[in-house]
Amino acid sequence: MTKAEQILDFYSNLNIDVSTLPLKVDVLNPYQNPSPEMEKVLHEFYHKYYGDHHKRGLILGINPGRFGAGITGIPFTDSYRLKEFCDIDFPTDTRETSSVFVYDVIQAFGGAKKFYSNWFIGATSPLGFIHQNSKGNWVNYNYYDDPKLEKAVRPFIIDKLQEQLEICGNPRKCVVLGTGKNYKYLQKLNKKIQLFDEITPLEHPRYIMQYKLKSKENYVTKFLEALS
């Protein structure tokens, strides 16, 4: 199987039993019964950039959000970036803050073809979550935002981390997006199951865009140094 076939098989088989989750928490699974448009884009993107058998480094985000991978199915990639930098059309116009920074890094790295030839962007939890707040609105929820949720999805996370490692060719190092809870969680988990020899933390793109925008170019440089 090519890497593209492995990745598409991985996403198409993602599933969590919602009955195991805490109350007022639901799964964000864009890969379950995807629209024909999303399915077409997923196949086009992964066959374009991963239609080979080469090993890659692994970058782990937190979990998919509603407006990036939650719509396109591709981590940190909204429809605008998909068209602008990957030359792939998506019918719904979406803009996602983290995607802006990630594609600044990708362009500085040498473009999408070079970047994706060297790296696979996955997630600690490749499925996302939403939570019904006190106002009755459903909002983004990270796997670590609730101890009960973290405990419920831990077997899923371990299983899917192992599968993402296999997709990449079992690298012993990984890069983690999120220097806080995502990094600390993976550090603690890694001490128990020893997936990695080294975990390199980098600031989460959303944090940079929201709080460190004036220093964005410095962060792009930092990312390039870590990824080169």
Please report whether residue 17 resides in a domain.
no
The string of pLDDT tens digits covering residues 7-21 is 999 999 999 999 999
Check which CATH number belongs to the domain holding 170 and give it.
3.40.470.10
Q: How many domains does the chain have?
A: 1
Residues spanned by the domain of 198: 25-227
Please report whether residue 6 resides in a domain.
no
Please report whether residue 87 resides in a domain.
yes
Query: What is the per-residue pLDDT for 114?
Result: 98
Query: What is the per-residue pLDDT for 34?
Result: 86
Please report whether residue 7 resides in a domain.
no
Contact 198, 173 (CB under 8 A): yes
Query: What is the per-residue pLDDT for 70?
Result: 79
CA–CA distance, 189 with 33 (Å, rounded to integer): 31
Please report whether residue 11 resides in a domain.
no
Query: What is the per-residue pLDDT for 160?
Result: 97
Contact 34, 42 (CB under 8 A): yes
Q: How crowded is residue 23: how many other Cβ atoms within 10 Å of its Cβ? A: 7
The string of pLDDT tens digits covering residues 109-130 is 999 999 999 999 999 999 999 9
Query: What is the per-residue pLDDT for 81?
Result: 95
Query: What is the per-residue pLDDT for 33?
Result: 86
Query: What is the per-residue pLDDT for 120?
Result: 98
Please report whether residue 9 resides in a domain.
no
CA–CA distance, 137 with 82 (Å, rounded to integer): 29
Dihedral over Cα of 39, 43, 49, 52: its sign: positive
Please report whether residue 219 resides in a domain.
yes
Please report whether residue 109 resides in a domain.
yes
- Residues of the chain with confidence (pLDDT) below 70: 67
Give pTM, 2 decimals. 0.94
